């Protein structure tokens, strides 16, 4: 990414991205503090007042949160709607879909590509289509912490925000002999 892309990205992040959450709040969606919504997230604009998002929540790229299901409209004359409640300290992985009427508890990780059709209790990791609880969050974190002992760890200077260079990107790939690493 060249300097122009970085400047344009920062302008977008600073001036336009926050307005999405602000607009949704103005329409009635409840959003806590430290809400992080990445590229391509789609939140049900037409029924956003049925959606509640807690503190310290991250929605990875292309997550969809739906509060209505119009598949019934043609046959019943009504659209099915459902409240969506997302707790505190939740991470929803890239490409996941949260369906109407779902409650996601506190301290939850939803794996990338999951389709959440049922409630997910507190302190769990859930994955799949449909999403199912895989194991407790503390077990997942313990596994990842243990993994960090044997793989390279990179500081903030290895991120786009801090201006990572081409040689640094190459260095990261060379050091990740087991194909994984961690970055701040």
The pairing of strands 115-116 and 103-104 is unpaired
With CA atoms as reference, report the closest residue to 35 among 83, 85, 88.
88
| Residue 5: active-site member | no
DSSP secondary structure of 103-142: EE-SSEEE-TT-EE-S-B-TTEEEEETTEEEEEEHHHHHH
Q: How far apart are CA 108 and CA 133, in angstroms?
A: 10
Cβ neighbourhood burial of 178 (10 Å; 0-12, 13-18, 19+): exposed
- Give the active site residue among 5, 47, 50, 68: 68
Q: Compute the distance between CA of residue 173 and CA of residue 152 in angstroms, rounded to an integer.
A: 10
State the catalytic residues: 68
């Amino acid at each position: 990414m060249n300097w122009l892309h970085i400047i344009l990205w920062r302008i977008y992040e600073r001036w336009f991205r926050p307005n999405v959450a602000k607009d949704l709040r103005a329409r009635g969606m409840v959003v806590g503090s430290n809400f992080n919504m990445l590229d391509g997230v789609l939140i049900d604009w037409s029924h956003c007042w049925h959606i509640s998002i807690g503190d310290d929540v991250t929605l990875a790229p292309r997550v969809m949160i739906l509060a209505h299901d119009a598949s019934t409209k043609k046959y019943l004359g009504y659209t099915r709607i459902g409240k969506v409640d997302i707790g505190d300290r939740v991470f929803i992985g890239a490409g996941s879909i949260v369906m109407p009427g779902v409650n996601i508890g506190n301290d939850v990780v939803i794996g990338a590509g999951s389709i959440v059709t049922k409630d997910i209790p507190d302190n769990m990791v859930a994955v799949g289509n449909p999403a199912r609880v895989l194991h407790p969050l503390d077990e997942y974190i313990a596994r990842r912490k243990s993994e960090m002992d044997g793989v390279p760890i990179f500081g903030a200077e290895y991120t786009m925000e801090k201006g990572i260079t081409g040689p640094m990107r190459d260095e990261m790939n060379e050091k990740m002999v087991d194909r994984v690493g961690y970055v701040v």
